[in-house]
């Protein structure tokens, strides 16, 4: 018998492969070789179908992955009610997945959006005490609305005198942000908070640079700017006249390699094998696999035989995994992994093939993770 996994995305695949190789080279999990099955998330409609097929037909025992928050919320009830396999989420970031009700089979080892937004609010309150007018741009779906809700709610708490301007929500995948850029400029904001991600985040910045946006807006925060695909897309179009802050679920240079070996080893192996720096989802996928391995081993130690799904779930609760992003502690109450949050400045550095984040400001999990099963977002 072997363990199988289903997951998505090219970077995720790369991260998984490294983990798989390492684990299998060391004898697998308790001597069993680990295999995986990968399905593409691309077609929204196919996600549920693929997941059902993987579990029912291909008999996968664990699911790892999921990028879209919407998809994760769609899949969770099906997993909880019908499919009954542990599902370790590695990127979907909506708080609703873990904080609205406790789920049995769903876990998440990646950061969700609320701690990052809370940290952003802290950053603005501390660094820009004179900022009054705050604007927002985000994709036109739950992730966009929730990010703004979280950020603005916390900012109001830290800095009650801010004026929250009318949020702007372009459709996900909007090709032309021209109108939105002009709208934002017209609002004359001191700070613009953005929850655009992926291609949109890059497209926005590129188009904004050439429309003089950053001459008018001096502070721009974008939670998902730390993603390597976005950074590559931005290329040399890094704004020079404004302070652009980015964050993400993992930054390959944090924790610093001279201080934290797991990250050093992971990044070196990844760079050597694939010729690029790992994106966050590679790190979180890698972490997910190790979480499963450690959980199974821990449960085995307690039981003396291959553990049941229930026993594996119990072992996952309260587990700390030495992940590339730092030690990740999986809270038993909501199955959410917690670790340090960072915000860094977008900078061009010729030593790297793409822009990077520098001057990182670090927030400990205790500072920025809301207590389990609480969220400012509507459930």
Partner 1 sequence: MKAKLAVILLCIAALAALPKAAGRHYTYVTAEALLLGLVAVSFNILFGYTGLLSFGHATFWGTGAYTVAVLMVKFSKPFPLALAASLLTSLAAALAIGYLSVRHTKIYFAMLTLAFGELFYAVAVKWRFLGGSDGIYGIPKPTGSLISYYYVVLAGVAASLAIMWWITQTPLGLTLRAVKDNPMRAEYIGISVKRARLASFVVSGVFAGVAGALYAPLAGAVSPEFFSWTKSAEIVFVTLFGGAVSFIGPTIGALIYDYMRHLAMGMTEHWMLIVGSLLVATVLLFPQGVVGAAQAAWRKVRR
Partner 2 sequence: MIPIELLIAQTINGLVYASILFLVSSGLTMIYGIMNILNLAHGSLYMLGAYFAITIIMKLAGGSPWGYLAAFILAPTAVMAVGAAIEVGLLKPIYGKPEEYQLLLTFGLILIFDEVVKLIWGPAYINFPNPGRFLGSIEVAGFEFPVYRLLLIALGFSVAWLLWFLLSKTTLGKKMRAAAADREIVSALGVSVPLLFTGAFMLGSFLSGLGGVAAGPLYTASPGMGIDIIVNSFAVIVIGGMGSILGALVGSLIVGLTRAYAIVIYPAIELALVYLIMVIVLLVRPVGLFGKPEEVRR
The pair of structure tokens assigned to 93 is 């970031």
DSSP per position, 152-218: HHHHHHH-TT-EEPPPB-PPTT-S--HHHHHHHHHH--SEEEE---HHHHHHHHHHHHTTTHHHH--
Contact 254, 325 (CB under 8 A): yes
Stretch that binds partner 2, among 82-90, 98-106, 198-206, 320-328 (CB under 8 A): 198-206
Q: Which is nearer to partner 1, 37 or 125 (CB)?
A: 37
Restricting to residues 224-243, name those near partner 2 by CB under 8 A.
Answer: 229, 233, 235, 237
Residue ranges in contact with partner 1 by CB under 8 A: 39-40, 42, 44-46, 48-50, 52-53, 56-58, 69-70, 73-74, 76-78, 81-82, 140-142, 171-172
Query: What angle, rounded to 10 degrees, do the helices at 69-78 and 142-158 form?
Result: 110
Contact 240, 208 (CB under 8 A): no
Burial 1-33 (b: 16+ CB within 10 A, else e): eebbbbbbbebbbbbbbbbbebbeeeebbeeee
Q: Which is nearer to partner 1, 106 or 325 (CB)?
A: 106
Binding flag, residue 206, partner 2 (CB under 8 A): yes
Which residue has 């005198």 as its token pair? Answer: 161
* Binding mask of the shown chain, residues 272 to 291, with x at each position contacting partner 2 by CB under 8 A: --------------------
d(CA 64, CA 286): 10
Q: Which is nearer to partner 1, 43 or 258 (CB)?
A: 43
Q: Which is nearer to partner 2, 40 or 297 (CB)?
A: 40
Least distance in angstroms from the C-beta of 258 to partner 2: 33
Total number of residues that touch partner 2 (CB under 8 A): 29
Q: Which residues in this chain contact partner 2 in the complex, by CB under 8 A?
A: 40, 42, 168-171, 173, 175-176, 178-180, 182-183, 185-186, 199, 202-203, 206-207, 209-212, 229, 233, 235, 237
């Amino acid at each position: 018998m072997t363990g199988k996994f289903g997951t998505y995305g090219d970077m995720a695949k790369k991260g998984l492969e490294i983990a798989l190789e390492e684990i299998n080279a060391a004898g697998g999990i308790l001597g069993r070789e680990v295999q995986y099955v990968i399905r593409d998330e691309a077609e929204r409609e196919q996600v549920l179908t693929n997941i059902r097929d993987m579990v029912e037909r291909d008999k996968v025992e664990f699911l790892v992955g999921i990028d879209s928050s919407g998809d994760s919320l769609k899949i969770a009830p099906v997993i909880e009610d019908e499919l009954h396999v542990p599902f370790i989420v590695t990127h979907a970031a909506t708080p609703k997945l873990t904080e609205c009700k406790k789920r049995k089979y769903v876990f998440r080892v990646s950061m969700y959006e609320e701690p990052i937004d809370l940290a952003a609010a802290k950053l603005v309150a501390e660094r820009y005490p004179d900022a009054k007018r705050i604007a927002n741009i985000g994709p036109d779906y739950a992730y966009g609305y929730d990010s703004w809700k979280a950020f603005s709610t916390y900012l109001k708490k830290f800095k009650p005198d801010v004026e929250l301007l009318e949020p702007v929500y372009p459709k996900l995948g909007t090709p032309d942000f021209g109108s939105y850029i002009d709208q934002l400029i017209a609002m004359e904001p001191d700070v613009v908070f953005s929850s655009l991600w992926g291609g949109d985040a890059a497209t926005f910045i590129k188009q904004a640079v050439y429309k003089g946006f950053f001459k008018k807006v001096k502070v721009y925060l974008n939670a998902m700017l730390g993603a390597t695909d976005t950074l590559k897309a931005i290329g040399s179009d890094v704004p020079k006249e404004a302070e652009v802050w980015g964050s993400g679920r993992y930054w390959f240079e944090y924790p610093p390699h001279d201080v934290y070996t797991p990250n050093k080893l992971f990044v070196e192996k990844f760079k050597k094998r694939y010729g690029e720096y790992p994106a966050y989802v590679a790190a979180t996928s890698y972490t997910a696999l190790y979480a499963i391995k450690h959980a199974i081993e821990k449960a085995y130690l307690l039981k003396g035989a291959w553990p049941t799904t229930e026993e594996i779930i119990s072992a996952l609760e309260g587990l700390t995994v030495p992940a590339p992003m730092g030690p990740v502690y999986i809270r038993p109450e909501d199955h959410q992994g917690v670790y340090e949050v960072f915000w860094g400045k977008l900078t061009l550095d010729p030593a790297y093939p793409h822009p990077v984040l520098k001057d990182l400001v670090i927030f400990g999990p205790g500072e920025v993770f809301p207590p389990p099963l609480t969220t400012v977002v509507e459930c």
